[in-house]
């Protein structure tokens, strides 16, 4: 048969006191099995215990239309840690016995669960059992806290290293960008200077080619004016004679007509 899995809880519950306005604390140590549970309750002086059987737990779960696992989970929630919306009570059940009860709401209905706790035959032993459990839990928690602190310190050192590395990388990046920017400015200024030199050369070359063209244009215009002047100085008599000759040459000839008798 497979060994049953156990889990433990220990809580401090504040119980209203009917005689005083102060709440009375009790400590509840619970051992949870898959089909039942064990409780040890103490007020610091007297102890009580509750060990229902599997059949009793099954009957209680059936009364509330719950599976045994659901009943145990819900009980563990309210007995493992005090719930603010629940009313706890630890009332006298006669002969030194007590009745532990708590309330909860389900689907808008307030429910009351309670179990009878029998007076322990050896309260001292029961109290020692609870104290041993608390001390063991405290040692486990302390060990976890120490481990977490050590891990935190390691992470802190690593974080500081990462921060220093990030700052170094950031500074190197700034230096690199400044150096690249300075080189870029030098190259840019050099290119601008060369472009200005080329522009000046092109401007001079254009001016040089423009002056000879203007001189050729002046010579052509002078030649045309001289030709017109030369023609105007020719002898007008020659022009008239030439014109008359041309007219006579172009005049049609007339044939003589013979008169017949």
Q: Which two tokens stand for residue 124?
A: 């001292």
Q: Are 38 and 31 in contact (CB under 8 A)?
A: yes
Question: For residue 4, what pLDDT is reported?
Answer: 60
Give the model confidence (pLDDT) of 85-105 as tens digits: 899 999 999 999 999 999 988
Q: Look up residue 252 and give its DSSP letter.
A: P
* All domains of the chain in start order, with CATH: 7-121 (2.170.210.10)
With a CB cutoff of 8 Å and minimum separation 6, the contacts of 57 are 35, 36, 37, 68, 71, 72
In this prediction the pTM is: 0.57
> Which tokens hold the place of 135?
């001390």
Q: Is the pLDDT of residue 170 over 70?
A: yes
Strands laid side by side in the 23-32 sheet = 7-16, 23-32, 37-42, 47-50, 109-119, 97-106, 88-94
pLDDT single digits (tens) 145-154 = 888 898 999 9
The helices-and-strands tally (H runs, E runs) of the chain is 4, 7
Name the nearest CA neighbour of 31 among 124, 97, 129, 103. Answer: 129
Residue 42 scores a pLDDT above 90: yes
Helix (H, G, I), strand (E, B) or coil at 102: strand
Radius of gyration for the chain, computed over Cα atoms and rounded to the nearest angstrom = 62
Residue 227, pLDDT above cutoff 80? no
User: Residue 253, CB half-sphere, CA atoms under 13 Å: how many?
Assistant: 3
Q: Which helix (H) or strand (E) holds 195?
A: helix 123-232
Contact 13, 33 (CB under 8 A): no
> Cα 138 to chain center, whole Å?
39
pLDDT per position as a tens digit, 98-134: 999 999 888 888 889 999 999 999 999 999 999 999 8
């Amino acid at each position: 048969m497979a060994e049953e899995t156990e889990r433990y809880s220990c809580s401090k519950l504040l119980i209203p006191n009917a005689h005083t306005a102060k709440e009375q604390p009790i400590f509840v140590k619970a051992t949870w099995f898959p089909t039942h549970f064990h409780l040890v309750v103490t007020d610091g002086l007297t102890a009580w215990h509750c060990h229902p059987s599997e059949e009793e737990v099954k009957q209680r779960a059936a009364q509330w239309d719950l599976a045994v696992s659901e009943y145990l989970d819900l009980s563990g929630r309210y007995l493992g840690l005090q719930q603010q919306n629940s009313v706890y009570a630890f009332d006298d059940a006669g002969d030194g016995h007590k009745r532990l009860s708590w309330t909860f709401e389900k689907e808008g209905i307030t429910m009351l669960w309670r179990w009878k706790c029998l007076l322990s035959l050896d309260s001292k032993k029961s109290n020692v059992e609870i104290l041993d459990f608390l001390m063991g839990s405290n040692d486990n928690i302390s060990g976890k806290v120490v481990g977490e602190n050590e891990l935190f310190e390691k992470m802190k050192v690593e974080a500081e290293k990462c921060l220093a590395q990030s700052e170094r990388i950031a500074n190197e990046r700034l230096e690199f960008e400044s150096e690249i920017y300075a080189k870029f400015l030098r190259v840019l200024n050099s290119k601008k200077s060369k472009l200005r030199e080329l522009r000046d050369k092109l401007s001079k070359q254009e001016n040089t080619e423009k002056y000879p063209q203007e001189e050729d244009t002046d010579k052509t215009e002078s030649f045309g004016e001289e030709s017109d002047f030369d023609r105007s100085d020719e002898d007008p008599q020659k022009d008239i004679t030439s014109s008359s000759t041309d007219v006579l040459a172009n005049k049609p000839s007339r044939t003589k007509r013979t008169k017949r008798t």
